[in-house]
Amino acid sequence: MVNFFMSLIQFFIRLFKKTDNNSNNTADISETNINNYNDNNENDVEETLVEDMFDYNGKVIILDNGHARQTSGKRSPLFSDGKTRFFEYEFNRDVVNRIARKLDNLGIRYYKIVPEVEEDIALSVRANRVNKLCNQYGAGNCVLISVHANAAGNGTQWMNARGWSVWTTKGVTKSDAIATIFWEEANKLLPKYRMTMRKDNSDGDPDNEANFTIIYKALCPAILTENLFYDNKVDVDFLMSDLGREVIADIHVNAIKRICKK
């Protein structure tokens, strides 16, 4: 008789556990359950608070998404479906928006200097916008990051050049150390997806150097990322994918986090 009762109790315990497990498994289906789940998961909440309080050391990140819908060129050859092309203005804006959302979550202050989509904003105007922020916050507190994708040809045919690179102005400036951080962060992620890295070690660091107007005119440290080649078929597939864009945004955010800690 005692055994019978024990079995009965164990049966109800198993039944209760099963019901409980089932309700956990469906926790992500309804909004109410999601709220309950979050309320009960203290670790998640704690992690969010730590991220929110990320010390950005007074740094101001200036994001430049170059080109516009009306910019000539800056697009890939036609894909084999006969209708798809990669447009650089769209990619640059999407990546900058992804970076911005991640910086929002970290509480890092940033500005997007080109809200316009249709009209190409002249480099001198963009440089003026950057320098206005430098005057407002102090050039030493600002970092300009100009986001691009590269091309080897003129958009009429697929090319062989591939890889990720970062650029600074000529000579040794504060931008070189920042560019090295970007290169290191890219090198941590991109090879995992079989994407290649480009570097120019001739001046002792992995960045490439050219006096592009936007980084040359900026009063603050400034770098320009060329995020793979959109006229290379392997690279462009990655650039068209949600995963590829997330990885590229993560490279920038991981580098920004390191810069803000300095």
CA distance 159 to 94: 24
CA distance 83 to 147: 25
Residue 106 or 116: the one with the smaller Cβ distance to Zn ion is 116
CB of 88 to Zn ion, least distance (A): 5
CB of 211 to Zn ion, least distance (A): 15
CB of 149 to Zn ion, least distance (A): 7
CB of 65 to Zn ion, least distance (A): 10
Residue 56 or 86: the one with the smaller Cβ distance to Zn ion is 86
Nearest to Zn ion by Cβ — which residue? Answer: 148
Q: How far is CA 199 from the centre of its chain?
A: 20
Residue 110 or 167: the one with the smaller Cβ distance to Zn ion is 167
Residue 139 or 145: the one with the smaller Cβ distance to Zn ion is 145
CB of 148 to Zn ion, least distance (A): 3
Element (H, E) at 226: strand 222-229
Residue 148 or 252: the one with the smaller Cβ distance to Zn ion is 148
CB of 86 to Zn ion, least distance (A): 12
In sequence order, what DSSP letters do the residues of 173-199 get, joined into one string? -HHHHHHHHHHHHHHHHGGGGT--B--
Residue 57 or 213: the one with the smaller Cβ distance to Zn ion is 213
Characterize the bridge pairing of strands 208-209 and 165-168.
Answer: parallel
Q: Which residues bind Zn ion (CB under 5 A)?
A: 148
Q: In the 3-class helix/strand/coil scheme, how is 78-110 assigned residue by residue? A: CCCCCCCCCEHHHHHHHHHHHHHHHHHHHCCEE
The order of strands in the sheet holding 222-229 is 109-112, 60-65, 142-150, 222-229, 165-168, 208-209
Instruction: Give phi and psi for 222, each to the nearest 5.
Output: -145, 140
